[in-house]
Amino acid sequence: MANTLARLQSLSQRFTKDRIGALLLLVLGACVTVTGTTYRIGTLNHMGAGFIPVTLGILLLGVGAAIGLTSAPPKPPSPSDPKPLPPEWRGWLCILGGVAAFVVLGEYGGMMPAIFASVFISAMGDRKNSVRDAALLALAMAIAGALIFSWGLHMQLPLFAWS
């Protein structure tokens, strides 16, 4: 257990932000290049649909490699370094959940439920918001949204769509 922990720690030290970024670009570049070759590449005179994607993929590979090679070597941790922030799962999930709720309820519930849910869920992502605050904010937004978008701008999304 302690062994794996130490190994994880040394791993995270070796992977600075730049190196993770470089790795990401290399993977992305490789995927793009491979997918690009499935479209017709053509010649310089008559380029096919694949020419530009392959070029961009190779460029990404090049830039990724350059970032990886020029990245500063990992420094031994010093107490003066700013502490890495802990992951903020609650905030992240709530904000993305708010967007997802809008998509789902927009389809199956109508505008009012979609607005209420998206505001309420994303508001719960902030630790300082109580359930009551979030609900009140969501209600206010749902009413304002219905007035502006449905009544004012005649948006096609129905206010309520129970099916």
Partner 1 sequence: MPHTLMDLWYGFTIALQPSNLMWSVFGVLIGNLIGVLPGMGALSTISMLLPLTYVIPPVPAILMLAGIFYGSQYGGAIGAILLNLPSHPPHAVTCLDGYPLTKMGKGGTALGITMMSSFFAASVGIIVMIFMSPLLVQIAFKFGPTEICSIMLLGLLAGATMSRGSPLKGVAMTVFGLLCGVVGTDVTSGTMRFNFGSNELSDGVELGALCMGLFGIADFLVSVNRTEVKASDAKVSMRDMRPSRAEIKQAFMPMLRGTMVGTLFGAMPGTGPTITTFIAYALERKISKTPERFGKGALEGVASPEAASHSKTQVDFIPTMSLGIPGDAVMALILGALVIKGVQPGPQLITEHPDIFWGLIASFWIGNLLLVVLNVPMIGVWVKLLQVPYRFLFPAAVFFICIGVYSTKNSLFDVAEVGVFGIIGAIFLSLDFPVSPIVLGYVLGPMLEENFRRALLLSRGDMSVFLTRPISAWFIGACTLLIVAQVVAYARRVRLPQQQPVAELATE
Interface ranges with partner 1 (CB under 8 A): 17-18, 20-21, 24-25, 28, 32, 35, 39-40, 43-53, 56, 59-60, 63-64, 66-67, 70, 85, 88, 90-92, 94-96, 98-100, 102-103, 106-107, 111, 114-115, 118-120, 122-123, 125-129, 133-134, 137-138, 141, 145, 149, 153, 155-157
Residue closer to partner 1, measured from CB, 6 or 148: 148
Identify which of residues 30 and 39 has a Cβ nearer to partner 1 in the complex: 39
Query: Between residues 2 and 153, which has the closer beta carbon with respect to partner 1?
Result: 153
Q: Three-state SS across 1-54?
A: CHHHHHHHHHHHHHCCHHHHHHHHHHHHHHHHHHHHHHCCCECCCCECCCHHHH
Residue 46 DSSP code: S
Cα torsion 59, 60, 63, 67 to 10°: value is -170
In the complex, the smallest distance separating the C-beta of residue 50 from partner 1, rounded to whole angstroms, is: 8
Q: Judge contact between 42 and 48, C-beta under 8 A.
A: yes
Q: Minimum CB separation from partner 1 for residue 1, in Å? A: 28
